[in-house]
A and B are shown apart, each in its own frame.
Chain A
Amino acid sequence: MTDAFRIAKRRRAIHGWLLLSPALVMLSTFAFYPSVATLWASFFSRETRRHPSEFIGLDNYRFLFEDPTFWKVAGNNLLYAGVTIPISIALALVMALWANSKIPGKSFLRTAYFTPTVLPMIAAGNLWLFFYTPDIGVLDQLFGLVGLGSMNWLGRPETSLWAICIVTIWKESGFFMIFYLAALQTIPPELKEAADIEGASRWTYTRRIVLPLLMPTTLFILVNALINSVKLIDHLFILTKGGPSDSSKLILYYIWELSFAFFDSPMAAATTVLVLAVLGIVAALQFGLLDRRTHYQ
Chain B
Amino acid sequence: MSDPFVELHEIRRQWDGKGGVRGVSLSVPRGAFVSILGPSGCGKSTLLRLLAGLEVPQSGQILIGGQDVTHAAPSARGLSMVFQSYALFPHLSVRENILFGMKVRRASRAAQAEKLAEAVAMTGLEGLEDRKPGALSGGQRQRVALARAVVAGHPLCLMDEPLSNLDAKLRHSVRRDIKALQRRLGLTVVYVTHDQSEAMSLSDHVVLMKDGAVQQQGHPEDLYTRPATPFVAEFIGDPPMALVEGAALGQAAAQIGIRVEKIERAHVDDADLVAHVEACEFLGGETRVLLSHPRARGLGLILTGRRELAPGTALGLALPDEHRVLFPAPGGQKDPQQNYGATDRQTAPRDGRKAPSQQTEEVSR
Contacts and interface: CB of A to CB of B under 8 A. Distances in A.
A209 B89 contact: yes
A135 interface: no
Contacts of B79: 197
Interface residues of B, number: 24
A199 B72 CA distance: 12
Interface stretch (B80-88, B182-190, B235-243): B80-88
Interface stretch (B36-44, B98-106, B323-331, B341-349): B98-106
Nearest to B152: A198
Given A188-B85, A204-B104, A295-B132, A197 B90 contact: no
Nearest to B73: A196
Interface of A: prevailing SS: helix
B134 interface: yes
B83 A194 contact: yes
A291 B126 CA distance: 28
B172 interface: no
Contact of B75 (A197, A212, A295): A197
Interface in A197-223: 197-201, 204, 208-209, 212-213, 215
Nearest to A201: B104
Contacts of A109: none
Given A198-B152, A199-B75, A193 B104 contact: no
A190 interface: yes
A197 B158 CA distance: 11
A195 to B, nearest CB: 7
B101 A297 contact: no
Contacts of A193: 52, 54, 74, 81, 83, 87
A168 B105 CA distance: 42
Nearest to B103: A208
A213 B81 contact: no
Given A213-B91, A295-B90, A297-B90, A199 B85 contact: no
A124 to B, nearest CB: 36
Contact of A198 (B92, B100, B132, B134): B100
Given A195-B100, A198-B100, A198-B104, A212 B152 contact: no
B100 A196 contact: no
Given A190-B83, A197-B75, A213 B104 contact: no
A191 interface: yes
A190 B100 CA distance: 15
Interface in A206-263: 208-209, 212-213, 215
Given A197-B75, A209-B91, 16 more contacts: A193-B81, A193-B87, A194-B148, A196-B54, A196-B73, A197-B101, A198-B105, A198-B152, A201-B104, A208-B100, A209-B89, A212-B92, A295-B91, A295-B132, A297-B90, A297-B134
9 contacts: A188-B85, A190-B85, A197-B79, A198-B75, A199-B101, A199-B104, A209-B91, A212-B91, A295-B90
A215 B87 CA distance: 19
B87 to A, nearest CB: 4
A201 B81 CA distance: 17
B80 A197 contact: yes
Question: By CB atoms of chain A within 10 A, which of B79, B80, B81, B90 has the most?
Answer: B90
Contacts of A195: 100, 104
Nearest to A297: B90
A200 B100 contact: yes
Contacts of A194: 81, 83, 87, 89, 148
Given A213-B90, A297-B134, A196 B74 contact: yes
Interface in B116-141: 132, 134
Contacts of A215: 91
A216 to B, nearest CB: 10
A282 B117 CA distance: 43
A275 B257 CA distance: 83
Given A196-B54, A197-B52, A199-B105, A191 B74 contact: no
A203 to B, nearest CB: 11
Nearest to B105: A199
Nearest to A204: B104
A70 to B, nearest CB: 43
Interface string B11-45: 00000000000000000000000000000000000
A196 to B, nearest CB: 5
